Amino acid sequence: MVNSIGINYGQIANNLPSPEDVVPLVKSIGATKVKLYDADPRVLKAFANTDVEFMVGLGNEYLDKMRDPTNAQAWVKENIQPHLPATKITSIFVGNEVLTLNDTSLSDCLLPAMQSVHAALLNFGLDKQVTVTTTHSLAILQTSYPPSAGAFREDLMDPLCETLNFHQKTGSTFLINAYPYFAYKGNPEQVPLGFVLFQPNQGVTDPQTHLHYDNMLYAQIDAVYSALASLGYKKLPVHISETGWPSKGDEDEAGATPENAEKYNGNLIKLMSGKTGTPMRPNSELNIYIFALFNENMKPGPTSERNYGLFKPDGTPAYPLGITPNNVVGRNTTVGGGSFGNAVTNPYYPMSSSTGYMSISSARQQRYQLLGHVLLMVPLLIIKTLV
């Protein structure tokens, strides 16, 4: 097995380097995959013949239009086909966190849009190399602790099962956005910092499986695996399409510091360099996309939203990650995981893509204000276990 580090390449800024200058930055952190929130041709062209795999996005604002197979066919012909095979586009995510936005006008369009895009790929003979998927918030979980009891929300079951069936039929992956940072931010007095930063800590033990977890992200991933298995989708692969930690925040954004961002992302990169999965799936590959490549100065919301980047706009590190170019060996010597019984420039095409990405960012911030419903772990349960 080979774990893969990916990076989210957002472009809501007016001071980012050219896509050509971004290529060496991506390679310097050992990333082999890039998640793009649109299908910016400048970026796709810049990464041609680099062997970097791309996941491109169709924003929520396109869902209604993409229900029409003719529109999907035209979009794939214009945005995907011209870049293959030089640029390794491997998947398209259609819509972002749609099912937890409580907007039936969007959720009703999700599966038809995914089906239309897949049909277009099939018509062009591209369906074997490019899959179709969508991303989900952890708020799709009703139960998240212990990880073995992970279960999806009952009110989302119908549309969720439709997309799961689509994944199974087409061979695409299940994408989840997971942010331990928000659990800490919501309750810094009770959530152990070491547990969310992959640092040495007592961890928690799942009372049902007796699997030990010493970081929150792996517990979150295994809760998703459990939820999928409970519906009969045990073999469906899970990728983490977003996770990260801000290096700066407002006064009420606990933990948003360069030191914590360095520990979270640096330790995660080192952990990913090992050949091991989560405690529940130790032999399954981990594919995790860090959010994000750059600090983006035009993103709305609190200060943290503009400070998730590994790099500043001038290409210098936002903080030291403790890694050397093309080498994902971390600076810290001990990194948490788990064990058995006892782990750039403003986009000009398409123009509406940037607007859709802004709404995604805002939605992410809003939903994590509902702490206590789903964020792993439930803080009181963590403390009860640790003391």
Catalytic residue numbers?
Answer: 97, 242
The C-alpha atoms of residue 373 and residue 319 are separated, in whole angstroms, by: 32
CA atoms within 13 A on the CB side of 23: 15
The C-alpha atoms of residue 146 and residue 225 are separated, in whole angstroms, by: 12
The C-alpha atoms of residue 346 and residue 5 are separated, in whole angstroms, by: 24
Question: What secondary structure does DSSP assign to 207-243, as a single string?
Answer: TTT--EESSHHHHHHHHHHHHHHHTT-TT--EEEEEE
Question: What secondary structure does DSSP assign to 187-203, as a single string?
Answer: -TTTS-HHHHTT-S---
From the list 296, 221, 219, 316, the residue with the least C-alpha distance to 25 is 316
Helix (H, G, I), strand (E, B) or coil at 271: helix
Name every residue whose Cβ is closer than 8 Å to that of residue 70 and which is 6 or more positions away in sequence: none
> CB–CB of 52/88 below 8 Å?
yes
